[in-house]
Each structure stands twice: as C-alpha cells, then as structure tokens.
Amino acid sequence: MSAAAINHQTDDFAAADGARLFWQSWSPEGEPAAVLAVVHGYGEHGGRYAFLVDAMASRGYAVVTFDLRGHGHSPGPRGHIRRFNDYVADTGAFLARVGRTFPGRPVLLLGHSMGGLIAAAFAEQGGEATRKIAGLVLSSPFVGVRLPVPAIQVKAARLLSRIVPTLRMTNPLRNEQLSHDPVVVAAAGADPLNHRVTTVRWAAEVLGAQRSVLSAAGSLRLPLLLLYADDDPIADPRTSEELFAGAGSADKTKVCYAGYYHEVFNEVGRAAVFDDLAAWLETRVAAART
C-alpha cells in the first residue's frame, strides 16, 4: 500500500490525572479489519513503528500508538514515573480512545519491551476493559532484565526510590542492542524524541512490576501471541518463556526468532515477524467477529 493510501492522524487524549497524552493513528482506506493498539517501549515513542504500520496497513489493519508519559511528545519528566500503575491506567485511557475512534472494530493490544510489561499488567487486571480486547501481542516483553546491571545498583535503586526518587542512575542500554539493521541503529541515535534517562524510582517501579506480572501470569486469559528473540541483549528471553508458560490463556502461541536482537519489528528479518503476526491476527480477528 502506498503512503498516500494510509490516513495518518494525530491528537491527544486525557489521562486519569488530566495529563494530555499524544497519540497517532494510521488507517488503510475503507473500514479496517481490526485495530492494533500499540504500547511502545522505554525511552522511545509511538512514531518508531513505521515498519509495523507499513506491514499491517497494507494488510487492512489500523495501527494506533500513544506516547507514554515522560516519553516522546507527551508531558512528564523523562525516564521517571511516580508509580508503574500510572502507565497501566494510561493504557486503559488510550484503549477507551481507540474504541471511540474505531467503534465496532476488533481491538488487539500490542506491547513492545516495557510496553509489553505494561500491556501484560493491564491484561492481568481483567475487568470490562480487558474483555473488549480481542487478543494480546507481546513483543520482547521486558519482564526480565538481561542487561548487565550490578546487583548493588538494583538494591540502591530500591532504597533511594523512597528518599530521592528523581535521582538519575546509570543506564547500560545501547542502540546497537536494538537491531542488526545499521539504519535502525543510526536512526535511534539521531532521534531527538528518544532518551536514555533513568531515575531510581522508575527502576524500582519497573522491577516491582516485573515480579508482579510474572506472579500473576495465571490471571492472563486473553488470546496471547509472544514474539521474542533468543539473542535479545535487553529483555531476558527466559522470563518471556516463564510468563508464557504461566499464562492462563487457553489460546496462546509463541515464536522465537533465532539470532534476532531486541526490536523484532525493526530487525533485518522483520518480514518473517510480520508474516507470523498477520497469520495469527487473521484467525483471532475472525473469531472476534463470530
């Protein structure tokens, strides 16, 4: 599908605390088959999913993203969060906006990296909002850390989070760990909307959320697709497998990409990922319409 055939819109919506969060949507011509509601990862923003948009819009799907608070075009201090559940609540507000914008269309929640952790936490909460979702896609979910973070730094973050929550800490993440595609790596480094700021409160909240999401995996009931990489240097693939094994979903599928890095949608072998995603979506969207 040509770029001219995709309808791109931007706007904002209100979070529960009144913050105005930036969002954008890409829709194919006519009525979309379904909507992919995307929650992006740490330090990036919703505008980094161009490959996903091109692949899915050409197959008849709308893609909608929003910038998490403290990220991209949305307000808030970079790399900081008061509590992890603020991300989860913002995702609920985002999905409500998606439902109003695309009434009657099946909506599938897709979370990448930290967005995967957020999406999993949201799905585990259950309730009416979750029942409106036709499926959950987790891409390299950040439910475990593979980055080399010293244990003393983790302990310090948990302690200092209660004393000086906005204190910054060292971040070992490098753009070269995202993808083997040099164009993707260069673009990530040049993107002014990306950041690598990390506060001790953010670290403590994310680490706590990882434990909670893994322990509550049995509460996850949505149709589930896990896409992950065995050579991911950022998110530990073993904890992704642990989450998948513990998930209470009767319908769950996992695909591991050998030799890929963290951003499977931005890898040199991304065409295979999009084919797998499209095949899974086709079946779940059909089921949602029956």
Q: Which of 61, 73, 69, 110 is nearest to 90 (CA)?
A: 69
pLDDT computed for residue 3 by the predictor: 47
Confidence of residue 279 (pLDDT cuts 50, 70, 90): very high
- Catalytic: which of 25, 27, 113, 140? 113
Provide the 8-state DSSP code for 242: H
For residue 232, indicate whether it is catalytic: yes
Which H/E stretch holds residue 35?
Answer: strand 35-39
Q: Which residue has the tokens 């998606």?
A: 98
The letter for the amino acid at 127 is G
The residue with tokens 């050998």 is 258
What residue numbers bound the domain in which 156 lies? Answer: 3-289
Torsion from C-alpha of 256, 261, 262, 263, nearest 10 degrees: -90
**Is-catalytic flag, 17?**
no
The total domain count for the chain is 1
The CA distance from 224 to 227, in Å, is 10
Q: Residues 40, 45, 71, 262: which is the catalytic one? A: 262
Assess contact for 191 and 226: CB atoms under 8 A: no
Q: Is 262 a catalytic residue?
A: yes
Q: How high does pLDDT run on average in the chain?
A: 95
The predicted structure's pLDDT at residue 167: 94
Secondary structure (3-state) at 119: helix
On whether the CB atoms of residues 129 and 92 are closer than 8 A, the answer is yes
Say which of 86, 232, 236, 249 is annotated catalytic: 232
pLDDT band for 76, please (50, 70, 90 cuts).
Answer: very high
* Phi/psi-derived region of residue 127, left when phi > 0, alpha when psi is between -120 and 50, beta in every other case: left
Whether residue 1 has pLDDT greater than 70 = no
How much is the pTM? 0.96
The CATH number of whichever domain residue 164 belongs to comes to: 3.40.50.1820
